[in-house]
Amino acid sequence: MDKREFLKLTSLAGAAVLSAPLSSLAAPAFTGKPSFADPKAPFVLPALPYAYDALEPNIDKLTMEIHHDKHHAAYVKNLNDALTGTAFAALSLEDILNKVTEKDKAIRNNGGGHYNHSLFWTLLSPKESNISAGLKSDLTSAFGTWESFQTKFNDAAKTVFGSGWAWLIVTPGKKLAIINTPNQDNPLMHNIVKDKGTPILALDVWEHAYYLKHQNKRPDYINAFWKAINWEEVEKRYKAAMA
């Protein structure tokens, strides 16, 4: 697929820009450009908390524009449409994910897409972010060494067949674990996933997240991701999950 074809497909896939107040995400409010607003819609496309080009050279500007303005926007619009007239319509996003089942296909896919992307943007940093000694020690204790933690996370991302996500989670038993999920599933979907937990780090390995810059070289994208992680946000989510 060449660049022109890719852009055509992404524009068709995300022809919608939407909005309204975002139901509770376990994330702080976004800053930066205002979101588009539709007072009748239950969910909103959050503005990025940094400029489209702020993550370069690790993640390029054009990918961020398409990923956020087309793909994420489409998930929010489709979620709002799917919720109309259902028992899910009055719930928070986390409650929707906790209750959704395999028969709720549109809500599952688009609710997951909205949550996952809203989380993902907060986990990326335009400035250098260093992991604290305490969090690094906990990750080392959980996975043996720092290098083995990175290798296990990388393997989770590399071995997603097709599209999906790699996750670092805090399990219900307050343990750190690394898992992956297909498509837009996530560890909050208690009726769907095998490994449940609270996400504290996430990596989108759908091709639209990296194809323009890295083509089919997913490992190159994964390596670039390590240079763009917002470790302060990861630690904040870790402490909240462990509390």
pLDDT, tens digit (0-9, with 9 covering 90-100), for 35-73? 444 556 789 999 999 999 999 999 999 999 999 999 999
Residue 143 located in a structural domain: yes
Alpha-carbon Rg for the chain in angstroms: 17
Q: Are 59 and 228 in contact (CB under 8 A)?
A: yes
Give the number of other Cβ atoms within 10 Å of residue 50's Cβ.
Answer: 19
- Residues in the annotated binding site for Mn(2+): 67, 117, 204, 208
CATH number for the domain harbouring residue 142: 3.55.40.20
Whether residue 92 sits in one domain with residue 190:
no
Whether residue 112 sits in one domain with residue 65:
yes
H/E element, 204: strand 198-204
**Which of 122, 155, 173 finishes a domain?**
122
Residue 225 located in a structural domain: yes
Token pair recorded at residue 114: 């909205």
Residue 49, domain extent:
3-122
Q: Are 165 and 183 in contact (CB under 8 A)?
A: no
Token pair recorded at residue 46: 């959050």
Q: How many distinct structural domains can be found in the chain?
A: 2
Give mean pLDDT, residues 80-109.
Answer: 95
Whether residue 154 sits in one domain with residue 111:
no
pLDDT, tens digit (0-9, with 9 covering 90-100), for 19-31? 222 333 433 333 3
Give the global pTM. 0.84
Q: What is the mean pLDDT of the chain?
A: 87
Token pair recorded at residue 136: 């690094």
Q: Is the predicted pLDDT of residue 133 greater than 70, yes or no?
A: yes
pLDDT for 34 equals: 32
Whether residue 23 sits in one domain with residue 112:
yes
Q: CA 4 to CA 225: how far, in whole Å?
A: 25
Whether residue 189 sits in one domain with residue 117:
no
Residue 128 located in a structural domain: no
Whether residue 94 sits in one domain with residue 140:
no
pLDDT for 53 equals: 97
- Residues in the annotated binding site: 67, 117, 204, 208
Residue 54 located in a structural domain: yes
Return the percentage of the chain with pLDDT > 90, whole number: 81
- Work out the end-to-end distance of the chain between its first and last CA atoms, rounded to an integer number of angstroms: 47
Whether residue 137 sits in one domain with residue 117:
no
214-239 burial by CB neighbour count: b if 16+ within 10 A, else e? beeebeebbebbeebbbbebbbbbbe
Whether residue 118 sits in one domain with residue 8:
yes
pLDDT for 3 equals: 43
Q: Is the predicted pLDDT of residue 14 greater than 90, yes or no?
A: no
Whether residue 114 sits in one domain with residue 215:
no
Residue 127 located in a structural domain: no
pLDDT for 42 equals: 86
Whether residue 191 sits in one domain with residue 151:
yes
Q: CA 35 to CA 8: how far, in whole Å?
A: 24
Whether residue 141 sits in one domain with residue 237:
yes
The type of residue at 52 is Y
Whether residue 103 sits in one domain with residue 8:
yes
Q: CA 201 to CA 170: how far, in whole Å?
A: 10
Q: Is the predicted pLDDT of residue 74 greater than 80, yes or no?
A: yes
**Which of 122, 147, 172 finishes a domain?**
122
**Which of 122, 153, 177 finishes a domain?**
122
CATH number for the domain harbouring residue 110: 1.10.287.990
